[in-house]
Amino acid sequence: MSKILVFGHKNPDTDAIASAISFSYLQNELGKETEAVALGEIGEETAYALNYFGVEAPRVIETAANETNTVYLVDHNEAQQSVSDIKEVEIASVVDHHRISNIDTANPLYYRAEPVGCTATIILKIFKENNVTIPKHIAGIMLSAIVSDTLLFKSPTSTPEDEAAAKELAGIAEVDLDVYGLDMLKAGTNMGTKTAEEMIDMDAKSFPMGDKNVRIAQINVVDIEDVFAKQSELEKAIQEANLENNYDLFILVVTNILDSDSMVLALGNPIIAVEDAFGVKLENNKALLKGVVSRKKQVVPQLTEALTK
């Protein structure tokens, strides 16, 4: 039998990569034959984490069915965020911490989702339930995932369980959680070398909401103005992306990881849904969302409601 492929969502963030690697490691220890792969190139934050702990980046795949008939999903479940030929393989396992949508299987499967801040927090629990020891490098990338998803526990998605998991993993990985965490987050905020096209795509996900196809991208920075200095290039890139991919609505969420606010840039239809969802008025296509840092908890549900009511 060919190897089971384990992967996170397209445009992988640190959790998508670290959860694939750590869940694959766990399953191999339990006797399965799996390989962690990625649905896209890793970003600078993830590269920092992998490099720090001496872990190789997973191989990038475009399709799965050409090499396996079974896949394990981590950190996502929605078909449009998964591998392009997901309908042609069997999803035997999902570990996730998102809403559930647009997933269909013919057979019963293992599905483990909890409303915590990070998939790696759930994977730590599964390691323990199976009495599998976590090696230092795996602990290191798992704690990196938790720091990344919770913005060092400042995101409203962060739970006491995430914080406890990160502390436990930091002990195994032998790092100072706060020092390492902030260094890693800052490594992901360097936009100097990025084109507008890259910036709107590096952490972007698609969501069907009502009858609209919504694209939501997020960038973490330490200075929001740096990004909006390029507003006209960003708008041009977004309009091209909307045309090319039939996105009805594109929302770029630019998050300041130090003060935990976000500025959104929104283009498409219906733009009024964005104003409704967040109770703001867009000016020059943008609005400041005070205290908003989480796409999952502070953007997706609000927009879903505004677009389905």
Residues lying near its own copies in the complex (CB under 8 A) are found at: 96-115, 129, 296-297, 300-301, 304-305
Distance of closest approach, residue 159 Cβ to its own copies, in angstroms: 11
CA distance 217 to 196: 12
Tell me whether residue 241 or residue 299 sits nearer to its own copies (CB atom). 299
**Residues 11 and 137 sit within 8 Å (Cβ to Cβ):** no
Distance of closest approach, residue 210 Cβ to its own copies, in angstroms: 11
Rg over CA atoms, the chain: 19
Q: Is 76 annotated as a binding residue?
A: no
Tell me whether residue 54 or residue 115 sits nearer to its own copies (CB atom). 115
Distance of closest approach, residue 299 Cβ to its own copies, in angstroms: 12
- Verify cis geometry, omega within 30 degrees of 0, for the bond prior to 270: yes
Distance of closest approach, residue 92 Cβ to its own copies, in angstroms: 8
Counting every residue written for the chain, the total comes to 309
Which residues neighbour 175 within 8 Å (Cβ) at sequence distance 6 or greater? Answer: 140, 143
Tell me whether residue 104 or residue 244 sits nearer to its own copies (CB atom). 104
Q: Is 98 annotated as a binding residue?
A: no
Tell me whether residue 112 or residue 186 sits nearer to its own copies (CB atom). 112
Tell me whether residue 129 or residue 244 sits nearer to its own copies (CB atom). 129
**Residues 254 and 283 sit within 8 Å (Cβ to Cβ):** no
CA distance 81 to 15: 14
Q: Is 149 annotated as a binding residue?
A: yes
- Block residue for tokens 């993830």: 46
In the DSSP assignment, the letter for residue 284 is T
Q: Is 75 annotated as a binding residue?
A: yes
Which residues neighbour 204 within 8 Å (Cβ) at sequence distance 6 or greater? Answer: 11, 215, 216, 217, 218
Tell me whether residue 114 or residue 226 sits nearer to its own copies (CB atom). 114
Q: What is the dihedral of CA 155, 12, 67, 137, to 10 degrees?
A: -70
Distance of closest approach, residue 195 Cβ to its own copies, in angstroms: 32
Kind and range of the H or E element at 277?
helix 271-278
**Residues 148 and 157 sit within 8 Å (Cβ to Cβ):** no
Which positions make up the binding site for Mn(2+)? Answer: 9, 13, 15, 75, 97, 149
